[in-house]
Amino acid sequence: MTVSNPRPCGDFRTDYAGDTRLFSDRAHTGGFFCLLALALVVPFVFDGYVVSLMILIGIYGIAALGLNILVGFTGQISLGQAAFFGFGAFSSAWLNTNTGIPVMITILLAGIMTTAVGMIFGIPAARIKGLYLAIATLAAQFILEDFYARAEWFTGGSAGSLAETPELFGFVFDSDQRYYYLVLFWVCVSFLLASNLMRSRDGRAFIAVRDHYLSAEVMGINLTKYRILSFGISSFFAGIGGALMGHYLGYVSAESFTIFFSVLFLAMIIIGGLGSIAGTLLGTAFIVLLPQFMEFLVGLLSGPVPFLLDVQPYIKEMAIGSAIIIFLIFEPEGLIHRWRLIRAYWRLYPFSY
Amino acid sequence: MELFVQLMINGLIVGSLYGVVAMCFVLVYKSTQVVNFAQGEFLLVGAWTCLSLLTYFELPFWLGFLVTLAFMTVFGILLQALVLRPLIGESAISVVMVTVGLAIFFQAALNMIFGSFAKPFPQVFSQETIEIFGLQIETAYLMSIVPSIIIMVAFYIFFKRSRWGLAMRATAYDQQVAQSLGISVKNVFAMAWAISAVVSGVAGIVLGMVNTVSNGLAFIGIKVFPATIVGGLDSIVGAVIGGLIIGVLENMAEFVDGQFLHFGNLYAIAPFYILIIFLMVKPYGLFGTKDIERL
């Protein structure tokens, strides 16, 4: 699970502060702000379809980021991210309708509530790890799914619950273009939080737990604390993402947070790159765009083979299944690894090192 | 009271099928350290293959059954060679995800080929209800318990008496030592997957004959997790007992639910509560060996 980060020859870090800097060099800083500027103008340039895809990438990206902290950085496997995502969606809608707290605040509160739930379901992680933990989170997924179908006071049962459109000082986020900025704000906050977390003492403790949990314990890292904390942080991001999703759709259904959805989140971080903050977003974009690409492909081929149109949903699922397998076999370090290789190659072009 | 006993018997019958599938799951885990999330899809592949041989090609049952067994052998070996062998030695997350990817792929592919509607098996054995000790039992259910017992006995004989069984036990115990004694670990891996696929295929056919064949059959692959955790992830005997416990427990939950609680679907979710409790209290199950790690 180690992610190699090829640095060009002569790129030395002479002190510790330099090694843990948020932006490693000027190009990195510039690249970040260029991307941010590009992201800001998207709603003015593209139509609603592209913007809605970007919103999806942003929302899923936040939840996938949480999962990457848990899986990629701490080495705990979780098959229940969708259940926590759903918990965020329901609790934000529930808080807003029952207590009248404005949506902008309930999104944050939903994150905190989901953190608590995540920590409860993270308790088994104190004793077990690896495959056993994967199975425990699988059980958490089914138990929470069952809870959503049953707890009518909280989720509206099979009817689902309505989520209001957020509003800030009279500005209503009622169109895709407007909602986009709300999502963009949370994406920036989440990714900055996560990047900074990984530069901190706690972040390094997570990585130590992942790399060798026994050695970490010998060095004085409290395994139980950090494993449960990691579940909490992961669920916080899932909750924020879920709340944003609920208010975006305006409606939260109890049936949408399935095991398949959890697997999609795992697929995002594996394809993007385990243990890479930026890779998370790449992987999310890949998984969101892959079905769109398959739709396009089916559209092209449907002339000679009209049969394909009927089975389009299955083709999309098959594409996701095969993408997971192909990436694990041929590029286990994910898209971010490819990107780093490309960057390292061009930095010193035409010399190889 | 009669209902109680009836549900108990039903639980044991369903549990024996869970036990058989859990046995395959444990076999693969023990010899290759892979947790197979696609176990349920193996059942589906077997059931759909046999069904299409019987209805589309109109083969007699015994021939269709044998061809399915042959197909499942090849299927298991190919899967192992193409997808799982490159991942030997990778971290747990990769191994988990690759089988999850396989599960998604086969689920979608089978849906695409056979449609999402349940199809009945052609009548092979007569379906009637017989009375044993005053209890009503459908012959179809009895038919399903016979193959389970045959498979379990065959497993026992295979592992205790045959050379290959001995090789597999040695590999499960220590791969390097087994290799240095001249056992082809590669072949053992392939064989573990082949056996798992074949036996799961048989379980799929049996289930398909008792109920109908639909993609819902894959749920057995999920029920396997509570069964194996209760029994211990690396104990074949534990898998059988765990399967029986989960089968009985499910029916008991249905009984309690129907009589007193009226939750509606407690039987489907109860095994997972048991799973969580077991993982917290006794993570290595009833018969599993405890992992001891040294620095």
B233 shares contact with chain A (CB less than 8 Å): yes
Nearest Cα residue in chain B from A266: B97
B127 vs A185, residue with greater confidence: A185
Nearest Cα residue in chain A from B233: A132
The CA distance from B272 to A142, in Å, is: 7
Closest CB to A131 among B92, B222, B272: B92
| B102 contacts A132? CB cut-off 8 A | no
Cα A112 from chain centroid (whole Å): 17
Mean pLDDT for B185-211 is 89
Q: Is B287 inside any structural domain?
A: no
Give the closest-approach CA distance of A66 to chain B in angstroms.
16
Q: What angle, rounded to 10 degrees, do the helices at A48-68 and A259-272 form? A: 90
- Contacts by B254-257 with C-beta closer than 8 Å and gap 24+? B254/B7, B255/B3, B255/B4, B255/B7
Provide the pLDDT for residue B264. Answer: 67
The CA distance from B264 to B270, in Å, is: 12
B277 shares contact with chain A (CB less than 8 Å): no
Q: Is A292 inside any structural domain?
A: no
Q: In this predicted complex, what is the ipTM?
A: 0.85
Provide the pLDDT for residue A1. Answer: 41
Residue B252 has pLDDT above 60, yes or no: yes
Q: Is B65 inside any structural domain?
A: yes
Structure-block tokens of residue B248: 């009985």
Q: Is A246 inside any structural domain?
A: yes
Interface test with B, best of A128, A142, A305 (most B CBs within 10 A): A142
Q: Is B295 inside any structural domain?
A: no
Q: Percent of chain B, pLDDT > 90?
A: 17
Amino acid present at B247: G
Give the closest-approach CA distance of B261 to chain A in angstroms.
13
Mean pLDDT for A98-125 is 87
A132 shares contact with chain B (CB less than 8 Å): yes
Give the closest-approach CA distance of A223 to chain B in angstroms.
16
- Residue A228's nearest CA partner among A249, A246, A205 is A205
The pTM for the full model equals 0.89
How many of the other CB atoms lie within 10 Å of CB of A315?
19
Number of domains into which chain A is organized: 1
Q: Is A303 inside any structural domain?
A: no
Q: Is B293 inside any structural domain?
A: no
A168 vs A336, residue with greater confidence: A336
Q: What does the pLDDT look like over A38-81, one tens digit per residue?
A: 888 888 888 888 888 999 999 999 999 999 999 989 988 889 89
Mean pLDDT for B199-215 is 85
Residue B103 has pLDDT above 60, yes or no: yes
In this structure, are residues A13 and A346 in contact, taking their beta carbons and an 8 Å threshold? no
Which structural domain, as residue segments, surrounds residue B94?
A: 2-217
Closest CB to B96 among A124, A128, A134: A134
Q: Tell me the H-state helices in A16-102.
A: 16-19, 26-45, 48-68, 81-99
Provide the pLDDT for residue A3. Answer: 46
- Calculate the alpha carbon distances from B269 to A119, A138, B22 in Å: 21, 12, 18
Q: Is A288 inside any structural domain?
A: no
Q: Is A339 inside any structural domain?
A: no
| A127 contacts B295? CB cut-off 8 A | no
B125 vs A161, residue with greater confidence: A161
Residue A265 has pLDDT above 90, yes or no: yes
For all residues of chain B together, what is the average pLDDT? 84
Q: What does the pLDDT look like over A142-172, one tens digit per residue?
A: 988 888 888 777 777 777 777 777 777 777 7
For all residues of chain A together, what is the average pLDDT? 85
Q: Is B232 inside any structural domain?
A: no
In this structure, are residues A141 and A80 in contact, taking their beta carbons and an 8 Å threshold? yes
Provide the pLDDT for residue B132. Answer: 66
Amino acid present at A165: T
Number of domains into which chain B is organized: 1
Q: What does the pLDDT look like over B61-102, one tens digit per residue?
A: 888 889 999 999 999 999 999 988 888 877 878 888 899 999
Listed range (A332-336, B121-125, B229-233) with the worst mean pLDDT: B121-125
Provide the pLDDT for residue B135. Answer: 65
| A123 contacts B83? CB cut-off 8 A | no
In this structure, are residues B227 and B28 in contact, taking their beta carbons and an 8 Å threshold? no
Provide the pLDDT for residue A353. Answer: 62
Q: What does the pLDDT look like over B7-25, one tens digit per residue?
A: 888 888 888 888 989 998 9
Q: Percent of chain A, pLDDT > 90?
A: 29
- Residue A287's nearest CA partner among A247, A324, A237 is A324
- The confidence band for A2, taking pLDDT boundaries of 50, 70 and 90, is very low
Give the closest-approach CA distance of B105 to chain A in angstroms.
5
Which structural domain, as residue segments, surrounds residue A247?
A: 45-278
Provide the pLDDT for residue B124. Answer: 65
Q: Is A108 inside any structural domain?
A: yes
Provide the pLDDT for residue A95. Answer: 87
Residue A240 has pLDDT above 90, yes or no: yes
